[in-house]
Structure 1
Amino acid sequence: MSHETSVRRAVTSGTFSLDGETFDVDHTDNADNTANTDNTVWLIGDDKEVLIVDAAHDARAIHAAVDGRRVTATVCTHAHDDHIDAAAELSVLTGTPVLLHPDDNELWSFTHHGRKSDGELSDGRALTVAGIELQVFHNPGHTWGSCSLYAPSLETVFTGDTLFRGGPGATGRSCSDRPTIEASVRNRLLTLPGSTVVRTGHGEDTTVEAERPHVPTP
């Protein structure tokens, strides 16, 4: 195996529960987007070590995708249960910390009663894996603690459920707000180079340039 850095996609399936209801995973407010139960788990690194973005549904499947490499951390883009329900088990399997923005601690507690995340994400924090620097952007709106990870050297940003192909993510449930997510996307993500690849928590990749027309201006 080479020591080249890479981004690998693992797909897991399940449901999403909030506000006393359980749903198939539906990642946008747009009526022309079909609901699905698939979550994307991202593994960033090389043949020696990886960082995991979102621990969705199946800790053992994610651990298998790690393929024996050292895991530096599991980063939660936000604390909806379909992105963190495997986090506690995966932390045990890999012996590594789970990182979450503190504004999502309450949401986290709905899924993981009595267990806190292991470390805090904050706007401007830098994480490093396999020589790749990942810059944390706090992008509230989908949830209050939603974050994205920008990797300049890979010309890629990992946006969780904040930005999808077709525009900003859903804000129809508690702990969310449409003007806030639009401002988060417009003021932080759309300032990145247009060719930046947007790797999302559900569905297909897109680019910053492709999404600019889908974000309203004030």
Structure 2
Amino acid sequence: MAGTVRVDHAVSSGTFSLDGETHQVDNNLWVVGDDTECVVIDAPHSVDDVMALVGDRAVKAIVLTHAHDDHCRVAPALRERVAAPIMLHPDERPLWELTHGGPDDADGYLWDLDLADGAVVEVAGTRLEVLHTPGHSPGAVCLHAPDLGCVFSGDTLFQGGPGATGRSYSDADVIVESIRTRLLALPDDTVVHTGHGPDTSIGAERAGVSHGDSTT
């Protein structure tokens, strides 16, 4: 038997660079699956860190919540290791190309499959529902796993409120609207697995959506 679907977590450390600034950051790694197969959410700093969570399971997809370099940097190398497609919302292309180049770059490459609002990624008998939540970046998405009672929020929502919007390709009004219309529609007891820092819940964050701005 493959076993019960579960969420595995670790932290990977490295840098985040945008608009001429570089910061040291700790990124959460999330892997959803059972003993046989899994999906990797984001690929920040180290393929080995991701593989320590994956183990010998088959990876069905590498799903990126957005294309800031601290979430997608090792995605191509991870793709080579596990032979799984990279999935990303197409509105993230300008940010992706800052790290990985594009079709006009001889060494550039794109992701494999586009994510779309309402799409479903299936793994180990459960569903990850794609919620397009722009604001932190144009194509940012969250992944809702209703069977598991959780949502993977990337950098859209943290403990304490919305993700950062003070950089290129971000918009504070848009992120607040995304959270209000997409995330706050989820049950209050939904666990929020964030891109950085501790878990929270939808209910706990209702009061913090109208203010606050994280650094990542």
- For this structure pair, what is the TM-score category when the shorter chain's length is used for normalisation? over 0.9
Q: Secondary structure at the match of 1:14?
A: strand
2:36 match = 48
Mapping 1:42-191, distance limit 5 Å: 42-113=30-101, 114-191=108-185
Alpha-carbon shift at residue 2 of structure 1 (Å): 5.8
Secondary structure of 2:9's match?
strand
Encode CA deviations 1:198-218: one digit per residue, 9 max, x unaligned. Answer: 00000000000000001129x
Equivalenced residue count is 205
Most deviating of 15-24 and 181-190: 15-24
* Deviation (angstroms), 1:129: 0.3
Counterpart amino acid of residue 15 in structure 1: T
Question: Shift in Å at residue 64 of structure 1?
Answer: 2.6
Q: Deviations over 1:145-164 (max 9, x none)?
A: 00000010001000000000
Q: Which runs of 5+ in 1 are unaligned?
A: 25-36
Q: Runs of at least 4 residues of structure 1 off by over 3 A?
A: none
1:28-39 matched pairs, under 5 angstroms: 37-39=25-27
* TM-score, with length taken from structure 1: 0.92
Which residue number in structure 1 is paired with residue 189 of structure 2?
A: 195
Q: Distance in 2 between matches of 1:191 and 1:23?
A: 33
Percent identical among aligned pairs is: 52
**Cα separation, 1, equivalents of 2:209 and 2:55:** 38
Which residue does 1:29 correspond to in 2? none
Residue type at the aligned position of 1:199: H
Per-residue Cα deviation, 1:167-202 (whole angstroms, up to 9, x for no partner): 010001000000000000000000100000000000
SS in 1 for 2:185: coil
- 1:208 is matched with which residue: 198, 202, 207? 202
| Residue 21 of structure 1: how far off its partner (Å) | 1.9
1:19 Cα offset (Å): 1.1
Partner of 1:23: 23
Counterpart for residue 4 of structure 1: 4
Local SS of the residue matching 1:181: helix
Displacement of 1:65? 1.8
- Give unmatched runs, 5+ long, in structure 2: 102-107, 212-216
Q: Counterpart of 2:105?
A: none
